[in-house]
């Protein structure tokens, strides 16, 4: 049976994990036999490269080489094309193919940046010491793609999916999880939510990560500054959605990805992000219809799609810690078996090393090998992917 991610069949979260487990098992059978270091066949179809080749590769080249990232990106494109609403379909495809920060048209000079900064600081959404480039990352212009969606990390350097193509794999799992819940609610409770809304929100909820998490010369990514208590990419994505005059239903669903409005405290966070995005986009959230008339809650009654997308976004709960654990373990392996110095471990050699391993095999797949087979098997797997 094929393990392709097919949008024609919405797998449940359990089905998705079964596919991942099957892939990991195949990797174990193919790559962890005795004499792995001398094996000619790359681990699970991953091309073996040398450390020097690895260090010379760009993050974008690593993502392009990854079968995992390609499969995920193809799935996202196919899923976008199945959206029936033409506006949702168009904006979703654009987020994958050309994620430009059009909102930067509002900030042609430092004068406009200073004005919006003062307003954000006065509202308590931004720290006064934050620089322009920290809350509005550098870019060549509102119509310039900072970097491909397919090459972007899924989050910050020490957080979830922190590797080239991590944004693709994060969104793929998000969408699979959310659609699994959508189908479960239909099967068990006998009703359907707005499927197009769920798919579109999954596609564009992190649409500004290519802008925020730019790759740097040392193969790490730009650090992210907070806005309104969340990573800046979230508020910037909401501001971009407001600036593009997307539907209030879609904007609200995106807003709920980071927190659900099921409690007063949770809803207050969502309201804060929408208000901060309103300041940055020059739009009034109440007039847009994304906040109730008193500005204290979402419009009542609250839509359910936001809750589903909030749960779908939770792949980070495992991937964030797994990334930190694996980076520490890879540091030990890099020092012991690849001769990396302290300076190497803090710079491009190790950053490139971890980027290639994670982009080809994923953080969680390597972590599972460590869990199930032990450190020796993990080390041999690493050596089969990147040789000295």
Task: Please report whether residue 55 resides in a domain.
Answer: no
Residue 209's domain spans which residues? Answer: 100-149+202-313
Task: Please report whether residue 75 resides in a domain.
Answer: no
Count the domains in the chain: 1
Residues 6+ apart with CB under 8 A from 13: 176, 177, 180, 181
**Nearest partner of 158 among 349, 367, 316, judged by Cα:** 316
Task: Please report whether residue 65 resides in a domain.
Answer: no
Task: Please report whether residue 130 resides in a domain.
Answer: yes
Task: Please report whether residue 270 resides in a domain.
Answer: yes
Task: Please report whether residue 361 resides in a domain.
Answer: no
The alpha carbon of 366 is separated from its chain's Cα centroid by a whole number of angstroms, namely: 19
User: Token pair of 321, please?
Assistant: 């810690």
Over residues 84-139, the pLDDT tens digits come to: 999 999 999 999 999 999 999 999 999 999 999 999 999 999 999 999 999 999 99
- Give the pLDDT confidence score for residue 39 in this predicted structure: 36
Neighbours of 249 (CB within 10 A): 20
Contacts 24+ apart (CB under 8 A), 14-18: 14/180, 15/180, 16/173, 16/176, 16/177, 16/180
pLDDT block averages, 10 residues each, the chain of length 388: 41 40 40 37 75 96 96 98 97 94 95 98 98 92 85 89 96 97 98 98 96 95 95 97 97 97 98 98 98 98 97 92 95 97 97 97 94 96 95
Q: Which residues pair with 231 in a beta bridge?
A: 226
What is the torsional sign of CA 178, 238, 87, 252?
Answer: positive
Task: Please report whether residue 11 resides in a domain.
Answer: no
Classify residue 138 as exposed, middle or buried by CB count within 10 Å of its CB (0-12, 13-18, 19+): exposed
d(CA 153, CA 59): 9
Does pTM top 0.75 for this prediction? Answer: yes
Task: Please report whether residue 259 resides in a domain.
Answer: yes
- CA 57-35-328 angle, 5° bins: 50
Q: Say if strands 49-50 and 226-227 run parallel, antiparallel, or are unpaired.
A: unpaired
């Amino acid at each position: 049976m094929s393990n392709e991610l097919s949008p024609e069949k919405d797998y449940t979260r359990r089905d998705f994990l079964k596919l991942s487990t099957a892939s990991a098992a195949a990797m174990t059978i193919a790559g962890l036999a005795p004499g792995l270091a001398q094996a000619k066949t790359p681990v699970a179809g991953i091309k073996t490269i040398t450390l020097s080749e690895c260090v010379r590769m760009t993050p974008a080249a690593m993502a392009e080489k990854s079968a995992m990232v390609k499969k995920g990106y193809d799935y996202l494109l196919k899923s976008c094309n199945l959206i029936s609403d033409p506006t949702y379909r168009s904006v979703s495809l654009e987020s994958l193919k050309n994620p430009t920060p059009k909102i930067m048209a509002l900030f042609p000079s430092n004068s406009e940046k200073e004005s919006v900064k003062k307003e954000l600081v006065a509202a308590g959404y931004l720290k006064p010491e934050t620089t322009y480039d920290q809350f509005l990352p550098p870019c060549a212009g509102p119509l310039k793609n900072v970097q491909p969606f397919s090459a972007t990390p899924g989050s910050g350097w020490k957080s979830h999916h922190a590797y080239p193509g991590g944004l693709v794999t994060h969104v793929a799992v998000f969408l699979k999880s959310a659609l699994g819940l959508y189908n479960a609610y239909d099967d068990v409770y006998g009703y359907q939510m707005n499927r197009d809304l769920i798919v579109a929100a999954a596609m564009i909820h992190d649409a500004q990560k290519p802008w925020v998490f730019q790759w740097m010369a040392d193969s790490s990514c730009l650090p992210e500054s907070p806005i309104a208590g969340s990573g800046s990419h979230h508020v910037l994505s909401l501001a971009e959605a407001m600036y593009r005059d997307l539907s209030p239903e879609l904007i609200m669903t995106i807003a709920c990805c980071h927190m659900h409005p099921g409690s007063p405290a949770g809803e207050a966070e969502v309201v804060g992000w929408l208000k901060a995005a309103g300041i940055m986009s020059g739009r009034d959230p109440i007039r847009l219809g994304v906040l109730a008339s008193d500005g204290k809650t979402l419009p009542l009654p609250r839509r359910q799609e936001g809750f589903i997308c909030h749960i779908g976004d939770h792949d980070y709960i495992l991937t964030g810690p797994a990334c930190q654990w694996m980076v520490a373990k890879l540091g030990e392996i890099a020092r012991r078996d690849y001769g990396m110095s302290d300076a190497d471990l803090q710079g491009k050699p190790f950053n490139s090393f971890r980027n290639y391993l994670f982009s080809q095999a994923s953080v969680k797949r390597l972590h599972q090998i460590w869990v199930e087979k032990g450190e020796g098997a993990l080390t041999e797997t690493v050596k089969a992917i990147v040789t000295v």
